[in-house]
Amino acid sequence: MTLLIGTDEAGYGPNLGPLLVAATAWRVAAPAEDAEAALAKAMLEVDAATGAGRSTPLWADSKQIYRGGAGFDRLERGVLIGLGLASGGLPGSWAELAESVGPISPQTGCRNEWEDLATLTLPREAEAAECIDRVMAVRDLLARHGVVLERVACRGIYPGEFNALLERGLNKSDILSAATLDLAAGLRAVGPDEPAIVWCDRHGGRKRYGGLVARHFDAALVQQLEETPARSAYLVPVGDRPPMQACRIEFCVGGESRAPVALASMAAKYARELSMQAFNSFWADRLPGLRPTAGYPTDALRWRHDAAAAVEQSHVAADDLWRRA
C-alpha cells in the first residue's frame, strides 16, 4: 500500500480575498514505484464511466475546469464528489464544508466581509442527487483498482492573517510553503508506516526546500534527491524503518495532470470562489452597482478605486482588506 498526497493553491496572486491551500490523500494498493501508474489507470476508467474523457476529466487543473467565471457547476460537482468519497456525505453549508476540510474561514482581522458565508447553503449549482450517485459509482470503480480517496484538507489564509505573517518576516513564498507542507505533513499521518509520495507545485520560483521539509515534517534527516530548474525532490526517512517506507516529496511544475493534485487544485479554487462570492455580496450591498472582482492585481486596483467610499464608511482597516505582496 502506498499513500499519494497532492497539494495545490488558489489565490496566490490576488490582493483581495484569501489564499486557499488544499491537499488530498489517496491509498493505492501498489508499491511506491507503481502507485502513480496504478492510480492513472484507475482514473482512465473513472473518466470513461462517468461520461468524462481525456479533454474533460472529472478532476483536472482548476484553471481548465473554471475559466472566466464559467464552469462553476463542473468545479463544484468534482469537489463534492471528492468530498463524498472522502467523508461519506456532501456538505450542505459552508460550516459543514469547513468541518470536513479544515480551517477555511477567516481566523483574524475583519470577518464582516465574509459574513454571508455563515448562511451559505451548498451545493450552489451542482445537483446533489447526481453528485451522490457519482460518488457511489466512482467509489466502486476506484475500489476495483485498489484505490481509496482518504481525505481532502484545506487551509484559508485571509488578508489580516496574511499581512501579519509578512510582518513577522515571511514572504509570499514562505507563507505558501508553510501552509502546503503543514497540510501534507498532517495527511502523511493517514498512513505513517506506509511509503508515501507528496506532489507539490513550485512555490514562487523557489528551488531549495530541504530545510522547510525537515521543519514541517519534523525530520532530523532529509535526503536531497534532486534540485534542478525542473524539479526538487527529497526523501524523508521513517525512523529506523526500511527506505521503502520513506516519504518522497517532489516540487515541480505541471503536476495537475495527477488526480491528487487536480482535486486539490479544484478544492482550493472552490473554497476561494465561495469566499469571494460572499466578499462581493457584502460590498455590493453597501455600494449598489459595484462590479464584482476576483481580486487579481489589475482588477483589484480598479475595485479599490470604485469601492473607496464604501470602504471608508465601513471603517475596514487596510490590512484586513488588502493583501500586501
Q: What topology is assigned to 2-321 in CATH?
A: Nucleotidyltransferase; domain 5 (3.30.420)
Among candidate residues 131, 22, 121, the one with its CA nearest the CA of residue 76: 131
What rounded mean pLDDT belongs to the chain?
92
C-alpha 146/C-alpha 130 separation (Å) is: 24
C-alpha 85/C-alpha 43 separation (Å) is: 14
pLDDT interval class at 244 (50, 70, 90):
low
C-alpha 159/C-alpha 270 separation (Å) is: 18
pLDDT at residue 68 above 80? no
The proportion of the chain whose per-residue pLDDT surpasses 90, expressed as a percent, equals: 76
Runs of H (alpha helix) within the chain? 32-49, 62-65, 72-87, 94-101, 128-144, 159-167, 172-188, 210-216, 259-286, 297-306, 308-314, 318-321
Residue type, 210: G
- What pTM did the predictor assign? 0.94
pLDDT in tens, 141-170: 999 999 999 999 999 999 999 999 999 999
End-to-end CA distance of the chain: 42
The proportion of the chain whose per-residue pLDDT surpasses 70, expressed as a percent, equals: 96
Q: What is the pLDDT of residue 108?
A: 67
pLDDT at residue 131 above 90? yes
pLDDT at residue 15 above 70? yes
- Give the burial string for 240-262 (b: 16+ CB within 10 Å, else e): eeeeebbbbbbbbeebbebbbbb
pLDDT interval class at 105 (50, 70, 90):
very high
Give residue limits of the domains in the chain.
2-321
Please give the backbone phi and psi of residue 236, each rounded to the nearest 5 degrees, phi first. Answer: -110, 110
Among candidate residues 32, 21, 154, 2, the one with its CA nearest the CA of residue 86: 154
pLDDT at residue 220 above 90? no
pLDDT interval class at 235 (50, 70, 90):
very high
pLDDT at residue 289 above 50? yes
C-alpha 30/C-alpha 39 separation (Å) is: 9
Contact 153, 186 (CB under 8 A): yes
